[in-house]
Amino acid sequence: MKKLITLFLLTIFHFQSCSGQNKEFVRFVVQPEAEVGKSILFNIYFEQKPDSIIVASNYVDGLELTYNLDEILKRISSSNTTDENGEIIQAYYSFESYAVPTKTGRIDLPVLTVIHEGKEYKSKPFHINVVDNITIDQNDLKVSWTSDKATYNKNDTIKVSLYEYSRFFETKRKYLPPENLPSLKGKENEIHVGFEETIDNIVGIENFEEMIDKNFEVVHFDWNPFRTQKQTMEYIDNMQYIKTMIAEFHLLAKSKGTFDIGISEFEFSLYKSNTDYFDNRFVPNDNGTYTVTDNGATKFKIKSNELKINVK
């Protein structure tokens, strides 16, 4: 009998499905370039809840934080994902604040020393650059398919992932209108996403789910609808990006051969700051409600690379 796996949102802070990615124990995720006087998100993610945090300074010279660094420990929010039986699959811990740059130039963030169960972990050195005005171009956004190997044997588990790379935090991918999610046929289970969105829309490829069902058994499926936690910082061609997981598949091939994953395509709305996002996107109505718009956004159509899977 097939087992149904459903992930439920337990808190209002974050939604995450389970992931096997290895990450730093503590990491800053902040957009690498900002405009002076404009608010940006300032996030710190932890793999486990810290017992204590040591920081050389409670303030960051050149950044006005909503919550200063001496407040990190008491303001860490947590969320869980569970299976259908209420068993916790994964717990997540984060500190979220807003930061307004008060001067231009390079701003270095202090290294955090985190103590957890007697072990010491340090954040990597991190800095942002502040300018008067940011010029946006298409290189500020990338979408990329990756696989853990170039060639697989017939019985190997194939891991493919789709990532967004952005120079800015406030980016919105445009999907087709949400529909009821069809079930993916998985090995000895049936996998559903606890959200009304089609697989094709999530990955930005028409008939993607049909191709997967035809050629693979799905062992594991993971996605990231609210863009939280599954984020790291990564350099590409000497440029730093916020790397966000869009989706991840663990697959077993039904036959040998070369399989074309396809090219993902999205329309992105990009905002240079949190200030631009809220000041322009939400237009007040006379009755006290707001209309959500794309005002103030720079829009791009972005295509991914083409990934081929070789099974011998």
Tokens of 135: 């010029």
Domain identity same for 145 and 271: yes
pLDDT the model gives residue 24: 87
pLDDT the model gives residue 248: 93
Domain identity same for 198 and 65: no
Domain identity same for 116 and 190: no
Give CB contacts under 8 A, 24+ apart, made by 144-152. Answer: 144/304, 144/305, 145/261, 145/264, 145/304, 145/305, 145/306, 145/307, 146/307, 147/307, 147/309, 150/310, 151/310, 151/311, 151/312, 152/253, 152/309, 152/310, 152/311, 152/312
Domain identity same for 127 and 142: no
Of the candidate ranges 2-6, 35-39, 132-136, the one whose mean pLDDT is the lowest: 2-6
**pTM reported for the whole predicted model:** 0.81
∠ CA 263-266-271 to the nearest 5 degrees? 140
Domain identity same for 90 and 143: no
- Give me the domain span that covers residue 262: 138-311
pLDDT the model gives residue 243: 95
Tokens of 122: 């340090």
Domain end residue (candidates: 76, 105, 131):
131
Is 191 exposed, middle or buried, given 0-12, 13-18 or 19+ CB atoms closer than 10 A?
A: buried
Give the count of domains, the chain.
2
Taking every pair of C-alpha atoms in the chain, what is the biggest distance, in angstroms? 64
Which of the two residues, 163 and 189, has the higher pLDDT score?
A: 163
Handedness of CA 216, 186, 156, 261 (dihedral sign): positive
pLDDT tens, residue by residue, 134-171: 999 999 999 999 999 999 999 999 999 999 999 999 88
pLDDT the model gives residue 79: 77
Domain end residue (candidates: 99, 131, 163):
131
Domain identity same for 194 and 253: yes
pLDDT tens, residue by residue, 221-254: 888 776 666 799 999 999 999 999 999 999 999 9
pLDDT the model gives residue 33: 97
Of the candidate ranges 71-80, 163-172, 173-182, 255-264, the one whose mean pLDDT is the lowest: 173-182
188 φψ region: left (φ > 0), alpha (ψ -120 to 50), beta (else): left
Q: Rounded distance, CA 203 to CA 223, Å? A: 10
Domain identity same for 186 and 287: yes
Of the candidate ranges 108-122, 135-149, 272-286, the one whose mean pLDDT is the lowest: 272-286
Domain end residue (candidates: 103, 131, 159):
131
Average pLDDT over residues 77-89: 72
The yes-or-no verdict on residue 195 having pLDDT over 70 is no
Domain identity same for 35 and 154: no
CATH number, domain with residue 94: 2.60.40.10
pLDDT tier, 90 (very low <50, low <70, confident <90, very high otherwise):
confident
The yes-or-no verdict on residue 283 having pLDDT over 70 is yes
Give the gyration radius of the chain's Cα atoms: 21
Domain identity same for 127 and 151: no
Domain identity same for 268 and 159: yes
Domain identity same for 247 and 188: yes
Domain identity same for 192 and 260: yes
